[in-house]
Amino acid sequence: MLSFAVALVAVVPAFLPGHPLLQGLSALLGLVPITAALTAVWRRYQRLTGDLRASHAAFRTIVKSSVDPVVIVGGDLRITFASPAIASLLDVDPGSLSGLPLVDAIHPDDRAGLFGSLSAPPGEGGEFAVRTARVRTRDGQWRLVQATVRDLRADPEIAALVLYCRDVTARGRGVDPELLELSLADPVTGLPNRTALSRRLAAVQRQVATHPVALALLSIDGLASATSRPGSEETVLRVLTSRLTRELRGEDWLARGKDGDFVVLVDGTVSDAEVVATRLITTLGYVATPAGPLTATAGVTGLAPDIDPGEALRRADLALSSARAAGVGSVHRYDDALRIAQDRRSTLAVDLAGALARGELRLAFQPVVDVVMHRTVSVEALLRWRHPELGDVSPQEFVPLAEESPLITELGRWVLFEACETVARRTDDELSVAVNVSARQIRSGELVTDVVAALEASGLPATRLIVEITESMLLDAHVAGDLETLRELGVRVALDDFGTGWSSLAYLVGMPVDVLKMDQHFLADVETVPQRRALCRAVLQLGASLGLPVIVEGVTTPGELRLIRDMGHRYVQGYAFSRPLEVDQLAAGAWRTVPELAVATSPEVTA
Ligand code: C2E
Ligand code: MG
Ligand code: MG
């Protein structure tokens, strides 16, 4: 810069007219502003190069003082710098690594996973990536090292890849010779895989008596839809892995669990694990995918000396199931009540398999009333189970259990036959019967055959059978086809729990549905809260606008009944008229007449 200024001083006088002295003077005067400007430029240049040197120095200082080893790799994937902390990890002199190809230190089986992302052009692999690989120590053994890779190749001041390394070899056991044989990293995210997790858990468990460690199990929702485009799954998983990694504290340890879950070994108590899990769920909300931001749910549990790793994972899993039931974004911690509930579910699932053969199942029938004509138009068949030890078990508890196995098809078939036969034999010629059909049953493809067989065996006309389904089932084109076939036979289709699956509302137009049953939760607080009343009215209007009759379910009090009638609605099912009836009560026929004053008088009419 200074030599450029000298050159200018030599050249400029040649262009000035007049006396040589004047020329020289004016040249000097004219040069003052130019030189001042040049000096300023020169100072700025000095400051910038100083800044650059300072930022390099600051960068090196930060890197050097880092407790975790840091390795800097140039564009040719040769090591340009290794921080002093590498010495304790690999037992090598950090200076001796400069210039060596990184690949030489990596286990052959792990090279593809590590270099796949490192050799991608800058930016493509994401600014951060997490990779786990076995790295050779000086005496030829292997350590499992997890590196958070910062791609700064596009940064002119650094122009390198920076690998922040952590030793994730199972601690307290020395070097495990089996590491040579096993692949311990998840190929997509680069995180330790389930095998590595089990090893780490086993090692950590021996220390938890003196140092608390907890487990957080994170299940990411919507990954399937977020990654439906080919190749997008890996990208999303990598982005979310780097997000999660950035949120972790020093000793927290992230791995891949079963079914694509993420597992964090949290350095701290179960309360710390809750905080970490909540933070991770929040951060996932910032990961945008084509299907929207990601959501997650978590289960946490503490590790203890007397709990083996498998049991710890089962506990976290139980907590996760409980969190899932509570809704997206929940974080639940394991407690013994969850185990008791799980044990009950297991007992019920086993016992349900033989319940039918042992005669423990029966049907109850709840009237649906036409409040204009004051008569019962149909009855809904509701499954009942009296367990020999546990007593009455709600269908809300055991039907979902049956749905988890092919048992639901057998139960559903029995309900169809039993319902058709009961109504055909024990009631008048007018009454219809509604049967609930589960998703699995309808997807089995046997519904049409079962319905036809039940109608034939009982002699019930098809026009007196109603099949109750839920909104989500309509999304399956195959199911819609089966329902259409049933309607051609004369069977009616009712949409149960209407209003709870808003997403498919527009979809309902033109669907094979004859009746809507408004879900009972729309009746909550309608008597006291005007907004709830408005919501209920809106749902009923939506139903009516689809041109279909609406049955209002769960009308429990006379007040609710009055409101529903005042809104102009005709079909009602609920305790306000009748609880579900046993078969002999149905045969007795007391339900047939609906007292006109039932609407006005308060006492619940129970049969
Ligand atoms: P759902 O089909 O919506 O049945 C209505 C539920 O509301 C029944 O519960 C009924 O007893 C209850 N209910 C009726 N009136 C009132 C009322 O005024 N107030 C209140 N609070 N509740 C009322 P239930 O019998 O416990 O059945 C629960 C669910 O279990 C049913 O909901 C249905 O989804 C399922 N379910 C019952 N039987 C069967 C079956 O045979 N097959 C299948 N797949 N599912 C069934
Ligand atoms: Mg129903
Ligand atoms: Mg319902």
Which of 22-31, 48-57, 120-129 is predicted most confidently?
A: 120-129
Among 61-65, 285-289, 422-426, the range scoring the smallest mean pLDDT is: 61-65
Q: pLDDT confidence of 495, banded at 50, 70, 90?
A: very high
Structure confidence by residue, pLDDT tens digits, 219-241: 998 776 655 565 577 778 888 88
**Whose Cα sits closest to atom 33 in ligand 1?**
436
d(CA 522, CA 398): 24
State yes or no: pLDDT of 11 exceeds 80.
no
**Cα 496 to averaged position of ligand 2 atoms, centre (Å):** 5
State yes or no: pLDDT of 30 exceeds 50.
no
pLDDT for 181 equals: 45
Homologous superfamily of 194-334 in CATH?
Answer: Reverse transcriptase/Diguanylate cyclase domain (3.30.70.270)
Tell me how far CA of residue 451 lies from CA of 410, 472, 479, in angstroms: 13, 21, 14
* Matching residue, tokens 């292997």: 142
Residues, CB within 5 angstroms of ligand 2 (ion): 436, 468, 496
131-162 in b/e form (b: 16+ CB < 10 A) is: bbbbbeeeeebbbbbbbbbbbbbeeeebebbb
Q: Where are the domains positioned within the chain?
A: 2-63, 66-183, 194-334, 361-592
Do 329 and 299 touch, CB atoms closer than 8 A?
A: no
d(CA 557, CA 218): 43
- Segments of 338-405 assigned E as strands: 361-370, 375-387, 391-393
d(CA 91, CA 85): 10
Closest C-alpha among 453, 431, 450, 447 to residue 479? 447
Greater confidence (326 vs 510) lies with: 326
Which is it for strands 375-387 and 213-221: parallel, antiparallel or unpaired? unpaired
Structure confidence by residue, pLDDT tens digits, 331-355: 999 999 998 998 999 999 999 999 9
Pocket of ligand 1 (CB under 6 A): 366, 382-383, 394-396, 399, 415, 436-438, 468, 496-497, 520, 553-556, 573-575, 580
Angle at alpha carbon of residue 528, lines to 524 and 531, rounded to 5°: 75
Instruction: For the chain, give the percent of residues with pLDDT over 70.
Output: 79
Instruction: Give the residue-averaged pLDDT of 466-478.
Output: 87
Among 188-197, 430-439, 505-514, the range scoring the smallest mean pLDDT is: 505-514
Out of 436, 550, 552, 591, mutate this one to test ligand 1's pocket (max ligand atoms within 8 Å of CB): namely: 436
Closest C-alpha among 547, 553, 569, 495 to residue 519? 553
Q: Is 203 exposed, middle or buried (0-12, 13-18, 19+ CB in 10 A)?
A: middle
State yes or no: pLDDT of 378 exceeds 80.
yes
Query: Average pLDDT over the chain, rounded to whole?
Result: 81
Q: Which atom of ligand 1 is nearest to the CA of 497?
A: 3
**Whose Cα sits closest to atom 19 in ligand 1?**
554
Backbone angles phi, psi at 435, to 5 degrees: -120, 130
Q: Which atom of ligand 1 is nearest to the CA of 435?
A: 41
Which is it for strands 550-553 and 515-518: parallel, antiparallel or unpaired? parallel
Structure confidence by residue, pLDDT tens digits, 566-595: 888 899 999 999 999 999 988 887 777 666
Do 194 and 96 touch, CB atoms closer than 8 A?
A: no
Instruction: Give the residue-averaged pLDDT of 172-186.
Output: 54
**Cα 468 to averaged position of ligand 3 atoms, centre (Å):** 9
**Cα 421 to averaged position of ligand 3 atoms, centre (Å):** 23
Instruction: For the chain, give the percent of residues with pLDDT over 90.
Output: 39
Structure confidence by residue, pLDDT tens digits, 86-137: 888 888 888 889 899 998 888 887 787 777 767 666 654 445 677 778 888 8
Structure confidence by residue, pLDDT tens digits, 355-377: 999 999 999 999 999 998 888 99
Which architecture, in CATH terms, is 361-592? Alpha-Beta Barrel (3.20)
* Matching residue, tokens 């049409």: 448
**Helix (H) or strand (E) run with residue 498 in it:** strand 492-498
State yes or no: pLDDT of 596 exceeds 60.
no
Instruction: Give the residue-averaged pLDDT of 277-291.
Output: 87
The pair of structure tokens assigned to 572 is 């009602």
Closest C-alpha among 418, 475, 485, 472 to residue 445? 485
Which of 148-157, 434-443, 506-515 is predicted most confidently?
A: 434-443
Q: For the chain, percent helix, then strand, then coil, each to nearest 5?
A: 45, 20, 30
pLDDT for 58 equals: 52
- For residue 379, how far is the Cα from the chain centroid? 39
The pair of structure tokens assigned to 164 is 């922040």
Query: Please, where are the H alpha helices in 469-529?
Result: 477-489
**Cα 399 to averaged position of ligand 3 atoms, centre (Å):** 14
Closest C-alpha among 457, 422, 452, 420 to residue 435? 420
Homologous superfamily of 66-183 in CATH?
Answer: PAS domain (3.30.450.20)
